[in-house]
A and B are shown apart, each in its own frame.
Chain A
Amino acid sequence: MPGSTRTKRVVTEVPSVVDKRFNAITMGAGISVLVLLLLVGAFLFIQSSNAISETGVLRFLTRTEWRTDVQPPAIGVMGLLTGTVLVAFVAVLFAVPLSVFCALAITEYSTARRRKWLIGVVDLLAAVPSLLFGLWGFLFLSDKMIPISTWLTQNLGFIPIFSTEQNASLTGSIFIAGVVVALMVLPIITSVTREVFSQTPPGEKEAALALGGTRWGMIRAVVLPYGRGGIIGGSMLGLGRALGETIAVALLLPQVPQQIGESIHILQNGGATVSGFIANRAGADAFTTSGLMAAGLVLFIITLATNMIASVVVSKSRSGAGVDL
């Protein structure tokens, strides 16, 4: 084959003037989204410089207290971060098993009609504003949860995280906030895992059943291994949402940062999260606001990182290609 003598002919499309403008506009829109996100980070950084330069980056990141009444002001984000992470973990701990079972109920245990219903309910749960969850949790669920908290601390109090101080109030605890946030992240975890489960190759499912597997056996042998990436990614996505959850947590927790040396009691009143703390300090003085910006920047980076990792995990898994988060 005299391939060496051949040259490729490159076809170039010359767009019309209208198309050129159209392409420019859509491209501009796409890029502007990208720029917007970068701007968010940049402006939070600029506005936080005042507080950070006063306290120092390392001190700000590691200090647990938040005091503006002393000179120089001692503010740090660590106390807030502990609360944020604890609430998010409690939430994910409750939400993940429930979501996975719910997704299984939708994909493996339902008829087409019931499936539609279940998806509708989960979607509706996602549509309920965070504020209403917070309101409901704050004034209704909180009271109903106290007996459980009491039982846990009385019977499992020897485990450090379940311990409480003498005569401590059990309302407004990280545990209760976590349960409410769990309800809020449940829909997103459910929808990601459901998407992934529904893409399990039917041939493999049939093979497992034809070998004499029960439905649960089939799920364990085929569906869960196939959907593992989706479960992990969905959980991380839920974690990201839980970390940024604001209004419900602002209502549920007293928003007092953890103090140095204080041990963590998730069952008793106390705790603060970055977003809830920021929400409760709206309209504060210039220095506090600058500190809030810094805290917001930390939250921004953490949630962004969590979400990005989650996206990568889902899309890299065998099942996740073609799943929209």
Chain B
Amino acid sequence: MSTETLSPGSSASSSSTSNASRPTPQRRARRPREFTNFDVWVLVGSIISALCLNWLIFYRLTAGASLFGFLLCSYFTFLAIFGVVTADRMGRLVATDRVMTVVVVSAAAIVFVPLVLLIGYILLEGLKALRPNFFISDQEGITPVLPSTSGGASHAIVGSIEQVGLALLWSLPLALAAAVFLNESRSKWRRPVRIFVDAMSGLPSIVAGLFIFATLILPFAKSGNPLFGYNGFMASLALAITMLPTITRTVDVVLRLVPDGLREASLALGASRARTVFSVVFPTARTGMTTAVVLGIARAVGETAPLLFTAFGYDLMNSNPFAGSQESLPLFVYRNIRKPDIAAIERGFAGALVLLLLVVALFALARFIGRDRSKRRGAPKGGGAAVRTNPDDPFNSPTSPSTSADADATATGQSVQEPMTS
């Protein structure tokens, strides 16, 4: 798809040089513009007049108000002014269209705002207390009088790694098998299972924690067996329940993108169904499956609610996940920011920053794995033909809006060759 964005002018010259037999004049594309310079001035003028009007009302005529309120009112005033002016110049039809364009574009822009504010805020607050010892020491001997830079969250990091690792161990085989079941079998149970997997992905995560608590911790409370008390193992089970539907569904989607022709080719070669899945389907969908797992991990790392009833939280290092309550990174954050002293809150922010960086890193990793490989493998130069082969058919793939699954689809399509040729 990237090839489409190449400038037509340069391409035209290349195509004209390539066929020397029939010289064509150097051609440059014409860009029709609906927006005249005057329209741009109308837009700018509307923004300025809206800001001025609101500034007058907010800061001159009435005693000041919040910046947020000022911007909000200015935005709506701007829409009104812009709409009225455009309607006067070009009629209501055009005015509605342009105002709605502004609304839609600004709605998309607004999504950036909380994300930027959130990341910026946590970065700013978290850096106050984040020191190297944060990764080395635990909360041993920490009293409210000590500064926030003392102590650390190594116990929480160890706990998080153990819990998420164990959770992955439980949920991954089950999720893969369930996804294979949804795709490769012809059982009549597929439909109910798919419905239940969907329903389960909407399950509040606290209920998962509550469930483990109700089945494995509460009934054995009197037994005194540390395996059935608050511990990391229980937390991993609760996390596994929250990860299971997420991974199943994403893997299910990825497996669905594997062309049926490949399966048939494998079966026609005499392979069993099991062999087909392991040798053809899985390798073909490998990148998509990895992406699904990484995203599943990213989600599980940040889960707090299921841990409240399972790992419970602990201030000291406990590297044994099978006995005794254990800390995890989100629990560390949650417990600390609820404490009354400022040092603890700052420590919580440091933990939040580490958590945020971890999640963003995992997210970036997932994107990196699932990226569109067709670019790197060198689409043919001057590959306009690859973009569109038939000019009489304007609506083949490039126009159909790409979804995130597209990247997987192309990645799948690319790696399709591998199992067949090797």
Identify the A interface with B (CB < 8 A): 15-16, 18-19, 21-23, 25-34, 36-37, 39-40, 43-44, 46-47, 97-98, 101-102, 104-109, 111-113, 115-116, 118-125, 127-133, 135-136, 138-141, 144-145, 147-148, 151, 183, 186, 194-195, 197-198, 202-203, 206, 214-217, 219, 237, 240-241, 243-247, 250-251, 275, 278-279, 282-283, 289, 292-293, 296, 299-300, 303-304, 306-308, 311, 324-325
Contacts and interface: CB of A to CB of B under 8 A. Distances in A.
A136 B122 contact: yes
B190 A30 contact: yes
Contacts of A109: 101, 104-105, 108
Interface string B99-137: 011011101101110110110011001000000000000
Interface of B: 1-2, 4-5, 65-66, 68-69, 72, 93-94, 96-97, 100-101, 103-105, 107-108, 110-112, 114-115, 117-118, 121-122, 125, 173-174, 176-178, 180-182, 184-185, 187, 189-190, 192-193, 195-208, 210-211, 213-215, 218, 241, 244-245, 248-249, 252-253, 272-275, 277, 295, 298-299, 301-305, 308-309, 312, 330, 333-334, 337-338, 345, 348-349, 352, 355-356, 359-360, 362-363, 367, 395, 398-404
B211 A44 contact: yes
Given A37-B200, A122-B111, A293-B210, A139 B337 contact: yes
Nearest to B398: A112
A202 B104 CA distance: 20
15 contacts: A23-B273, A30-B187, A31-B189, A40-B241, A102-B111, A109-B108, A118-B108, A121-B112, A128-B356, A129-B330, A131-B330, A148-B72, A195-B403, A219-B100, A275-B206
A29 B190 CA distance: 11
Contacts of A144: 66, 68
Contacts of B196: 33-34, 37
Contacts of A29: 173-174, 176-178, 180-181
A240 to B, nearest CB: 5
A interface SS class: helix
B330 A127 contact: no
Given A16-B272, A144-B68, A307 B202 contact: yes
B404 A246 contact: no
6 closest A-B pairs by beta carbon, nearest first, are: A129-B302, A244-B204, A29-B177, A101-B107, A147-B66, A30-B181
Given A121-B112, A127-B295, A300 B334 contact: no
Nearest to A31: B189
Contacts, number: 303
Contacts of A147: 65-66, 68-69
A246 B122 contact: no
A215 to B, nearest CB: 6
B211 A40 contact: yes
B202 A22 contact: no
Nearest to A322: B256
A22 B337 contact: no
B204 A27 contact: no
Contacts of B367: 120
B177 A25 contact: yes
B27 to A, nearest CB: 23
Contact of A30 (B189, B272, B312, B349): B189
Given A26-B180, A111-B5, A247-B334, A279 B305 contact: yes
Given A123-B363, A289-B218, 11 more contacts: A27-B187, A29-B176, A37-B203, A112-B5, A112-B402, A139-B337, A202-B400, A217-B96, A246-B204, A250-B305, A279-B206
B97 A214 contact: yes
B185 A23 contact: yes
Contacts of A197: 401
A323 B96 CA distance: 31
A34 B395 CA distance: 41
Contact of B207 (A128, A203, A299): A299
B315 to A, nearest CB: 15
Contacts of B333: 131, 135
Contacts of A136: 117-118, 121-122
A217 B360 contact: no
Contacts of A111: 5
A250 B66 CA distance: 27
Contacts of A283: 312
B203 A40 contact: yes
Contact of A198 (B181, B202, B253, B400): B400
Contacts of B114: 125, 183
A98 B100 contact: no
A308 B114 CA distance: 30
B66 A148 contact: yes
A147 B185 CA distance: 58
A198 B404 CA distance: 12
A10 B305 CA distance: 53
B199 A308 contact: yes
B108 A132 contact: no
A73 B256 CA distance: 53
A141 B176 CA distance: 40
A151 B65 contact: yes
Contacts of B195: 308, 311
B65 to A, nearest CB: 6
A306 B398 CA distance: 36
Given A118-B108, A132-B302, A216-B96, A40 B207 contact: yes
A243 B204 CA distance: 8
A215 B96 CA distance: 10
A8 to B, nearest CB: 19
Contact of B193 (A33, A131, A206, A217): A33
B214 A293 contact: yes
B241 to A, nearest CB: 7
A195 B402 CA distance: 9
A105 B107 contact: yes
A30 B168 CA distance: 17
A112 B195 CA distance: 33
A19 B68 contact: no
B215 A39 contact: yes
A151 B215 CA distance: 49
A43 B213 CA distance: 10
Given A132-B352, A240-B202, A279 B302 contact: no
B308 A27 contact: no
